[in-house]
């Protein structure tokens, strides 16, 4: 991959570990943790995140098989669960790379080669992947008929666990309990994501699947105390030029300078993941001082109004930082921090701080 040099993403690995420790305080001592590192660890870099967390967690999860292979090639040895639906064409890869498949339909038993490990997935209300709860007897017999495959777990996924007090979570929990009771006790059962771990802490089974909380964000509007964002996004001013009162900036000429002053050019735009809908919504930090982004964000550039302040080209600009984090960005454009984080272009180099 060709790396960009217009910006850097800083990942604080000490904060990552601290977040895991905070989330563990919600769990019983023997509850295991599966660290979810899909989507390149929500933009944080799956290999580095997994290597850092490997001594502290019991398993990993990724979305697709290629993400799992990448981790194996970088010497991650703990169990890796692949969430995606197995395909006939790639079914042989699970065993080759010692990855755990997700079985959620009858044909998967036929496609996976002898010796493949898998977890069963049940749809208890998410309305996405998984066997229907009423199929549990059939699934149990398929499991017994296919002794050549190794079932090691059983899971489901909550639809509304991002905030406390949801009856729908209670209902899904009840359904999953009923399913779980029909299967051998030695299978590892898991249903909780970050939200269920923090807001429904009596709901755990054998293991939880932690994603967003590890990266320092709460899944919904209710804040989880004691976790902090791991990622910061920085760039540099490439140019500074005088701007006179009432002259306009960027496409559409939507922004007019309120006074004479200086305009800074930042070489980051929506191609980098700085969403265009955030135009005129953000403040960046330069030398500890906040300045507004002005005019429409373009594909590769964004402008900042500096007032009377003068800076040299090359001055560092903080785009995404503690007081203007992915949750703040998300609230402005009606999305969630997950989408902000995974939108940051993977070509921007990640720098790791211990
Ligand atoms: C992404 C995902 C998770 C992690 O969810 P967070 O809200 O990020 O903790 C857990 N389980 C499944 C099946 C997922 O797809």
Domains annotated for the chain, with CATH where assigned, are 13-215 (3.20.20.10), 231-324 (2.40.37.10)
Please report the pLDDT score of residue 201 as a whole number: 80
108 lines ligand 1 (CB under 6 A): no
Helix, coil or strand: residue 20: helix
Catalytic residues: 38, 251
Q: Which of 102, 209, 215 to mutate to test the pocket of ligand 1 (most atoms within 8 A of CB)?
A: 209
Handedness of CA 166, 155, 212, 26 (dihedral sign): positive
CA separation for the pair 246, 289 (Å, rounded):
24
- Could you list the pLDDT tens digit for every one of the 354 residues in the chain? 788 889 999 999 999 999 999 999 999 999 999 999 999 999 999 999 999 999 999 999 999 999 999 999 999 999 999 999 999 999 999 999 999 999 999 999 999 999 999 999 999 999 999 999 999 999 999 999 999 999 999 999 999 999 999 999 999 999 999 999 999 999 999 999 999 999 998 779 999 999 999 999 999 999 999 999 999 999 999 999 999 999 999 999 999 999 999 999 999 999 999 999 999 999 999 999 999 999 999 999 999 999 999 999 999 999 999 999 999 999 999 999 999 999 999 999 999 999
262 lines ligand 1 (CB under 6 A): no
194 lines ligand 1 (CB under 6 A): yes
Please report the pLDDT score of residue 184 as a whole number: 97
What DSSP state is assigned to residue 325?
Answer: -
Phi, psi (deg, nearest 5) at residue 241:
-145, 155
209 lines ligand 1 (CB under 6 A): yes
Contact status, residue 55 vs residue 253, Cβ threshold 8 Å:
no
Alpha carbon 222 to its chain's center: 18
């Amino acid at each position: 991959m060709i790396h960009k040099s217009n910006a850097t993403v800083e990942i604080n690995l000490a904060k990552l570990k601290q977040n895991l420790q905070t989330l563990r305080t919600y769990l019983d001592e023997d509850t295991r943790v599966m660290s979810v590192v899909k989507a390149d660890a929500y933009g944080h870099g799956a290999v580095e995140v997994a290597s850092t967390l490997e001594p502290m967690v019991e398993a990993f999860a990724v979305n697709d098989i290629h993400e799992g292979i990448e981790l194996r090639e970088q010497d991650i040895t703990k169990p890796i669960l692949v969430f995606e639906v197995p395909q006939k064409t790639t079914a042989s890869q699970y065993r080759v790379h010692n990855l755990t498949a997700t079985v959620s339909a009858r044909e998967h038993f036929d496609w996976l080669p002898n010796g493949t490990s898998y977890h069963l997935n049940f749809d208890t209300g998410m309305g996405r992947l998984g066997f229907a709860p009423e199929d549990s007897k059939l699934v149990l017999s398929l499991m017994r008929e296919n002794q050549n495959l190794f079932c090691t777990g059983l899971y489901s996924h909550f639809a509304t666990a991002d905030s406390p007090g949801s009856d729908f979570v209670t209902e899904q929990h009840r359904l999953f309990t009923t399913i779980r009771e029909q299967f051998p006790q030695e299978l590892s059962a898991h249903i909780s994501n970050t939200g269920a771990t923090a807001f429904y802490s009596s709901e755990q089974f054998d293991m939880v699947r932690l994603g967003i909380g590890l990266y320092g964000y709460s899944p919904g509007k209710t804040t989880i105390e004691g976790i902090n964002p791991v990622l910061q996004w920085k760039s540099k001013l490439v140019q500074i030029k005088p701007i006179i009162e009432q002259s306009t900036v960027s496409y559409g000429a939507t922004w007019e300078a309120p006074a004479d002053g200086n305009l800074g050019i930042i070489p980051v735009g929506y191609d980098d993941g700085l969403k265009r809908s955030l135009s005129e919504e953000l403040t960046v930090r330069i030398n500890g001082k906040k300045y507004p982004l002005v005019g429409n964000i373009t594909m590769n550039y964004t402008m900042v109004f500096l007032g009377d302040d003068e800076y040299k080209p090359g001055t560092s600009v903080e785009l995404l930082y503690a007081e203007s984090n992915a949750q703040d960005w998300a609230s402005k454009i009606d999305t969630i921090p997950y989408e902000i984080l995974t939108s940051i272009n993977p070509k921007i180099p990640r720098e790791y701080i211990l």
